Structures are given as structure tokens and as C-alpha cells.
Amino acid sequence: MIFVTGGTGLVGSHVLLKLSQQGNNFRALKRSSSSLKICQKVFSYYNEIELFEKISWVEGDINDIGSLEDAIQGCTMVLHCAAIVSFSPYDVDLMKKVNTEGTANVVNVALDAGVQKIGYVSSIATLGTTKNNTIINESCDFKFTKNISNYSITKYFAEQEVWRAAAEGIDVIIINPSVILGPGDWQKGSSQIFEKIYNGLNFYSTGSTGYVDVVDVADILVQLLFSSAKNERYIVNGINLKYQDCFNKIAEAMSKPKARIKVTPFLKEVAWRIEALRSFVTGKSPLITRETANSAMSSKAYDSKKIKSFLSFEFTDFDDTIRKYVSWFLADQE
């Protein structure tokens, strides 16, 4: 029996879909306040709504140890997908609570329950950089710098909890996905890219990063869980692209205008400060923060040779990913 956390989110929903399609026995954790609408929508996109109806949900919370202990009983493997992704200064305490403390709770309960293997969804945000801005691989160690995001820090410490599980006898695998593209809640996480471009995105930055299809992320996580891999991390990245090129491809697929105003270092500094002021006045979360502004100006590339070699994995073509999700996004706007 597999125990899954974060099943109501983008990655978790696709993990549940993959497990369901393969006929695996699993149990999915959900908070009493969580909605199943996004997960249900994901299953409907793939015409698998009958499989959604068969999911075994259990109520609980990774920050409620009692409910976690009850939910995990009888499970021998764990896929830990639950996390808060935010670059807002207002969410720092919440990310510490969910990302770091929640992962520690999952590890502790898994140890007590005799779990044999844990698969953890981390992020490229926990990887260090190279001296000469060469491609980043699994050996690049995390470094605390003045520009590191709070999200990165909470995910880094969450990884340390997973490695602790390995030190105490549980086989673990960690995946570090790049920017994940997929369907679900178009107003949250990386899926917001589609909505922002649809509504008109005039600015583009000079930075670059990696992108990956959420289907590939779920597929790799499940494959690794049932593989011989243990106590290893794997970068999960389909392609390295400039932000401008990624946004242009989405805009073209939507028949929308491409971003035409280049963000300069000065404009970047002005933009996040204006957003901070607007957020303070309105009480709404800022659209741009200092962390996201700095990230958008940095150029990074990620090496996925390790996972490609181990699983003989071929990532989804990026253009196919864009066409698929743009089509679903546009259909949802009708």
C-alpha cells in the first residue's frame, strides 16, 4: 500500500492518476478543508473520471501527527508531494510549517510505521549553482546566499529530513523538478503562466530556467518508487529555455501578442517595490516580489542526464506540452 500526501495539488493529482492507471493500491491524504475539485478536473482532462471515483481518501494533515499516524497504518511506501510554493514574504511561516516541519512529521511517522521507501518531491530551488554558470547537476551543493528564497530554504531543510530517514534505515529517493507546467488551478503556482499570458503579458526578463511537463514528473516519481534506486536525488528537467522564449511559445499557441518590453535591472528594482507597496495598501499578495524579480533575471540550466540514463526516460516534447495545456486552458475559458 502506498501513502500519498499532496494529492489535491498539481503534482499530487497527476501522481494519483498515474497510480490509478497502473492499478496500484494507494491511500491519499487530504485535509478536511481541502477541495477535491482540482484533482477531479485533472482526472477529467484525461477522461479518467471513473478512476477518480475509486480513490481512497483519508482525512488528516501532515502537521497533525495523530491523524498522520492513523492514515499511514498498513502502508509500506510513501510519496510525499505536499508543499507550499510561494515567494511572498507573508508566507514564510506557513512554508516553514508545511514544507519543513510537515516533512519531518511524515518522516517520523514513516519510521514508526515501518515504511520501507519514501519518494519526495523537492525542487531545483534546493540545488546550488556553478562557479562559471555552467549547467547544474545533482552534485551542486546548496549555498545560503543573500538572494536565496525562503521557499528554497524551507525545501532544503525538508530534504535534510528525508536524508535523515535514509540514515535511519528507510530507502529514499528525491526528485528535483524544474518549473512544472500542467493543468489544474490556472490561478496558482506555475500554471499561472498561462493565465498571465492570456490576459496580456507585456514584460519579459533576460533570465532562463528549466521546464518540465507535470506528466513526466509524476511518471518519473512512480517509476523511481518501484525501481532499485535508493538514497539518490534526480533532477527532473525537460528543457532549458529563456523566459522570453517560453512565454513567446505560449503566446503564439494562444494567438496572443508577445511580450515586448525588456525588464532592465533598474526596472526590476522599481517593479517589486511598487508591488510591495500595493500589497501593503490593499492587503493582497504581491504579484512580484524581490525573490521572483531576482529569479527572473538569473540564467540557470539544469542537467537531467542522470534520470534519463537510469530510467532510459524521454521527456515530453516542450512544444507538445505547450499545445496540450494551452488547448485545455482555452477550453476552460469558454
pLDDT tens profile 240-292 = 999 899 999 999 999 998 888 777 665 556 555 666 666 656 666 665 666 66
Q: Which one is predicted more confidently, 334 or 141?
A: 141
Q: Which residues contact 61 (CB under 8 A, 6 or more apart)?
A: 29, 31, 67, 68
pLDDT of residue 189: 74
pLDDT of residue 269: 64
Contact 30, 36 (CB under 8 A): yes
Q: Is 71 exposed, middle or buried (0-12, 13-18, 19+ CB in 10 A)?
A: buried
Confidence of residue 184 (pLDDT cuts 50, 70, 90): confident
Any bridge partners for residue 172, and if so which? 118
Domain boundaries of the chain, sorted by first residue: 2-181+210-239+301-316
Any bridge partners for residue 126, and if so which? none
What's the pTM?
0.91
pLDDT of residue 333: 83
Hey, how many other C-beta atoms are within 10 angstroms of the C-beta on 102?
A: 26
The DSSP letter of residue 28 is: E
pLDDT tens profile 12-71 = 999 999 999 999 999 999 998 888 999 999 999 999 999 999 999 999 999 999 999 999
Superfamily of domain 2-181+210-239+301-316: NAD(P)-binding Rossmann-like Domain (3.40.50.720)
